[in-house]
Amino acid sequence: MSPQAHASDENERRRMAEVLRRLHAEYPEARIRLRFRTPFELLIATILSAQCTDDRVNQVTKSLFQKYRTPEDYLRVPVEELEQDIYPTGYYKAKARSIRECCRILLERFGGQIPQSLEEFTTLPGVGRKTANVVLNEFVEPQGIVVDTHVARVVQRLGFATTDNRERIEYRLMELVPRSEWARFAHLVMAHGRAICKARNPRCRECTLRDICPFPERE
C-alpha cells in the first residue's frame, strides 16, 4: 500500500469513527426490528423479510412461530399449507421452497442446529451473506457486516463505497468499522436510512452527518 493510500484509509477510518459516534448518540435504541426467540426463528424471519417490511413479517411470524417450532415442523406439512401461512410476506412460493430446503439441509448436515460460521451458514439453500450475518451477529459472533438496501444507500452517499456490489461494500466496511461495532453498525445505519437518509427526498437539512457527508442536498 502506498503512503497516500494508507493516509487515505486512515482518514476514512477517522471519519467512520465520527459517523459511528454521532449515530450512537442519535439512535441509542437502534436494534433489530424482527421479532424472534431463537436463532432458528431469526433465520426464518430473515428469509421472509426479503422484499417485505419487518412489520409485515412480524405480523406473520406471530402465529407462524406458534405453529412451526423446529425444522421438522416446516417439512411435515404440505408445501401448499406453508405457502398460505406465509402468503402476506410476498413471493410466498419461492420463500416456502427456500425455507423447506434450508430446513432439510439443517437437519441433514447440522443436526437441526444453526451453523456457527459464515462459511457453513452460506451453504444453506437461499442463504447469502446478509442473512447469515443477521443471525450470527445476534447469536454467535460478528463475522461480517449486514448490508441491506438502507446500509448500501447510506454508505454510498457518505462516500465510503462506490460500488453497488453488496459483498464488496461489506468488505470495505469491514476495513473501516472496528470489529467491536460490526453487529451494531447495521442497526444504526438502518435507523438513519429509515428516518433521515431516505431513498427519495432525503432530509439532509436535519441530518446529524450533514457536515461530513459529500452527498448533495436535495431540499
Please write the tens of the pLDDT for every residue from 120-160.
Answer: 999 998 899 999 999 999 999 999 999 999 999 999 999 99
Domain with CATH 1.10.1670.10 in the chain: 3-30+145-212
Over range 174-186, report the average pLDDT: 97
Confidence at residue 216, expressed as pLDDT on a 0 to 100 scale: 77
Residue 130 annotated in active site: yes
49-92: pLDDT as tens digits: 999 999 999 999 999 999 999 999 999 999 999 999 999 999 99
Domain 39-129: state its class: mainly alpha
87-108: pLDDT as tens digits: 999 999 999 999 999 999 999 9
Residue 148 annotated in active site: yes
CA 38/CA 42 separation, integer angstroms: 6
Considering the chain, what is the average pLDDT of its residues?
A: 94
Q: Which of 148, 164, 198, 211 is catalytic?
A: 148
Q: Which of 130, 164, 198, 211 is catalytic?
A: 130
* Percent residues over pLDDT 70 in the chain: 95
Cell numbers found for residue 214: 459529500
Asked if the model's pLDDT at residue 114 lies above 80, the reply is yes
| CATH tag for 3-30+145-212 (out of 1.20.1530.20, 1.10.1670.10, 2.60.40.10, 1.10.10.60) | 1.10.1670.10
Domain with CATH 1.10.340.30 in the chain: 39-129
CA 184/CA 195 separation, integer angstroms: 17
